[in-house]
Structure 1
Amino acid sequence: MNRIAQGLTLVLLGAAALTATVATDLYLNWVKPGFGPFLVAAGIVMALLGVLVVAAELRGESRGGPSADAAHEAHGHGEEGHDHSRAPRVAWLLLLPVLAVFVVAPPALGSYTVESTAESSGPPPRENRERSGAFDDGLEDAAPGEVVPLDLRQFVMRAWIDEERHLAGRTVELTGFAVPAEGEGWYLARLQMACCAADAVVNKVLITDRPAPEADSWWTVRGTWVEPEGELVEVSEHRFSVEEIEEVTDPPDPYE
């Protein structure tokens, strides 16, 4: 890989970053929205550096600068010398991110990730369970009979640590994607991301009173929590009784 190829690779890498952030919202498949400005800045810097490298190399050639072989002979390397104007062949691997974005952009994580994860995110540590009253989901402020939209993360957190069981009998609305279950029913799931797809954890509820839809299809369901017996934190998975179900044709941000 010579200097011009190195510069063009930087330009392509920068273009890939800008395509995934400015031209489209593909970057939301891999990182949280807050990282968008940083990716835009990185894309601009890489593209500019690539242009400068190519321009400098072309300017040097147009001025009739010495060839690489002549330069090495001048330094006494001879025929067995190494051309330091070239990067190692492994540098071509830098083109893989470009191909990933322009040719086979990886999709957001979905049902396969949930199926390959044995359990959902699980209840929070014991020291955090005492904060069960500190919810910001608006459930306790909603009027009786009002449908309360909740993130799956908020619903699962309530179901696990709200010892007063404010969810019981309340109609809530959840949105997520369908995941096949090994036994009875299917899961409505969503992935919770701290910074990027690599650290995503699963939040899901089991639905057994409606036929299983196609995997990875998105749905909004309205219904009630199936209140379990015994200690909440001992429940391995929470169930949801569906009253209404509607397919989502324009899915939201794939992560919570």
Structure 2
Amino acid sequence: MRRYGPAVLLALVGAAILRVSLLGDLYLRYVQAGLRPYLVVSGVVLVLLAAGAAVLVRTAVEQEVQGDDGDHADPGGHTHGPAGPRVAWFLTLPALALLLFPPPALGSYSAEREAAQRAQRGVGTFPALPAGNPLDLTLGEFGSRAVYDSDRSLTGRPVRLTGFVTRDDDRTWYVTRLLVSCCAADASTAKAEVRGADAPPVDTWVTVTGTWHPEGEPGSDAAWPPALDATSVQRVRQPDNPYEKR
């Protein structure tokens, strides 16, 4: 059985990739939607490589049975050949975990680990807001306008934001979303402080409706994070794609 170790490992990894990318939307927990075709191709290639490796091993075993030269044990009891090092079997554990128990999307723990670091975009004007009452905005859009818009176009406009709940040690709570450019590894945080409403449990997904609460001068540290005077907080299910595109 050890001889088939590399083939089994390749098959498990390939099956795990196909499990999250081909049989549903689980891949959106880890990468952007546009990368799905590459995941599917990678999974198929790994499964085909596993099949090829298994065929090669089987051929070698049949040749040994027929009397051809094969693997031999050396005097020290070590074997050499296609089986590979035993430690490689430990690589099956993460593959099995991804296949059977896909990890959840990043949540409050990842958001809290990021320091309040923001790109130096500079203060300026933004395009006119679209119609809508309340206006549906992403956390990234809301944060950019609230912090950097010199015209303060959000003033008095009811907005609706969707994200998961995070908290500070002082019980201040936020509606939060993780922004990604490519995959979960490059995630950054966008959030808005929610005022005037009780906090649901951490990591609960909510839709918060309210109006922007201006603080500080545009572009200043006092303007971050932006605040929202809530009129309603509704619990919602986690969206298929839990991330916003940066």
Matched, 1:251 2:244: no
Unaligned 5+ segments in structure 2 are none
TM-score by length of 2: 0.87
Q: How does 1:26-175 map to 2 (within 5 A)?
A: 26-62=26-62, 64-66=65-67, 70-71=69-70, 79-80=75-76, 82-119=79-116, 121-122=117-118, 124-125=119-120, 128-129=121-122, 132-135=124-127, 140-143=128-131, 146-175=133-162
8 Å CA contact 1:207, 1:239 repeated in 2:
yes
Q: Give the C-alpha shift of residue 252 in structure 1.
A: 4.1
Does the CA contact (< 8 Å) of 1:7 and 1:54 recur in 2?
Answer: yes
Query: Are residues 46 and 36 of structure 1, via their aligned partners in 2, closer, same or farther at CA, if it must alter by over 3 Å?
Result: same
Count of aligned pairs: 241
Q: Look up the SS of the partner of 1:79 in the other structure.
A: coil
Residue 160 of structure 1 and its aligned partner are, at CA, apart by: 1.4
- Percent identical across equivalent pairs? 34
Root-mean-square deviation (CA, aligned residues, Å) is 2.3
Aligned amino acid, residue 248 of structure 1: V
**Secondary structure in structure 2 of the residue aligned to 1:23:** coil
Whole-angstrom CA distance in 2 between matches of 1:187 and 1:156: 12
CA distance in 1 between counterparts of 2:219 and 2:227 reads 12
The corresponding residue for 2:24 is 24
TM-score of the pair, normalised by structure 1: 0.84
Unaligned ranges ≥5, structure 1: none
Whole-angstrom CA distance in 2 between matches of 1:54 and 1:252? 37
User: SS state of the match for residue 217, structure 2?
Assistant: coil
